[in-house]
Amino acid sequence: MIFGGAFTFLPLLMLAMMLAILRPPWEDWALDERGVRTDARSVEVRETSTEVNDESLYEIVVAFEDARGLKHKATVTTTNDEVIARAREKATLTIEYDREKPSRARLPGEASTSIGGMIFLPLGFVAFGLPLFLFGLVSALRAQRLYRRGHCALARVYEVVPTASSVNDEPVMRMLYAFSTADGEAKGGWKTVEPLAIGETLWVVYDPNQPSRNMPSQA
């Protein structure tokens, strides 16, 4: 569960930090769908601490009017030296703005965000880690319920078989055991790198309504 949690929550934290610093990619998706071109006047040029392909990313604050004649300001980003030079001279720039949210804008042919496909990297880790985390969580809850409501029995190991897994180069073995219940004999198994020998005994906890649900009491 810890392994799955690390692959789930650490990438989510990284994604949240990325979105807090940089614009999300859906800004570009909206502009692809509803972008309107117009001329804008450069108001301010700011160098950011972000680099794209080893080039400094600049923010350019622009002022423009929408199709209804309403005035707006927006911030576009670029690494293009020619555009940056023109913006510093307060030249007119062509931009694309979202007709539903004019403050969302970009330069034609450029992205409004530098995240791009990187957003899918942490999401890929989440997709991998979330099932592991949920599986571990369900297993932990089942074990907790078994400890609270289960019965104890003394079991005896009758077979130890190898598995295809290993932990720290130690082979994982499946230890099979049997124990007696009020309804007769029941069996169980547990994977471990330190199995007991055949014939040795151990205490197990089992569900009296379904003895096949059991586990070693010291697991």
Does 45 share its domain with 107? yes
- Quick one: pLDDT at residue 10? 63
Q: Which of 125, 127, 111, 98 is nearest to 24 (CA)?
A: 111
- Quick one: pLDDT at residue 38? 95
Does 108 share its domain with 27? yes
* Number of compact structural domains in the chain: 2
User: Which residues constitute the domain of residue 189?
Assistant: 150-216
- Quick one: pLDDT at residue 133? 65
Domain assignment present for 144: no
Strand order in the sheet with 55-65: 71-78, 55-65, 35-52, 92-98, 105-106
CB-CB neighbours of 18 under 10 Å:
18
Domain assignment present for 60: yes
- Quick one: pLDDT at residue 145? 78
Domain assignment present for 136: no
Asked if 114 and 54 count as a contact pair (C-beta separation under 8 A), the reply is no
SS3 88: helix
Does 154 share its domain with 78? no
Please report, as a single letter, which amino acid is at residue 69. G
Token pair belonging to 3: 């392994």
CATH of the domain at 34: 2.40.50
Domain assignment present for 194: yes
Does 93 share its domain with 168? no
Asked if 25 and 135 count as a contact pair (C-beta separation under 8 A), the reply is no
Domain assignment present for 165: yes
Residues 6+ apart with CB under 8 A from 33: none
Domain assignment present for 137: no
Please report, as a single letter, which amino acid is at residue 39. D
Collect contacts of 53-56 with beta carbons under 8 A, ≥24 apart.
53/79, 55/79
Pick from 93, 114, 135: which residue ends a domain? Answer: 114
Q: Cα–Cα distance between 28 and 117 in angstroms, integer?
A: 12
- Quick one: pLDDT at residue 54? 85
Does 97 share its domain with 177? no
Mean pLDDT per 10-residue segment, the chain (219 residues):
50 57 72 92 91 86 93 93 94 94 90 61 65 66 77 95 92 96 93 94 93 86
Token pair belonging to 25: 């990619």
pTM: 0.47
Does 46 share its domain with 97? yes
**Size of the chain, expressed as the number of residues it contains:** 219
Pick from 114, 137, 162: which residue ends a domain? Answer: 114
CB-CB neighbours of 40 under 10 Å:
25
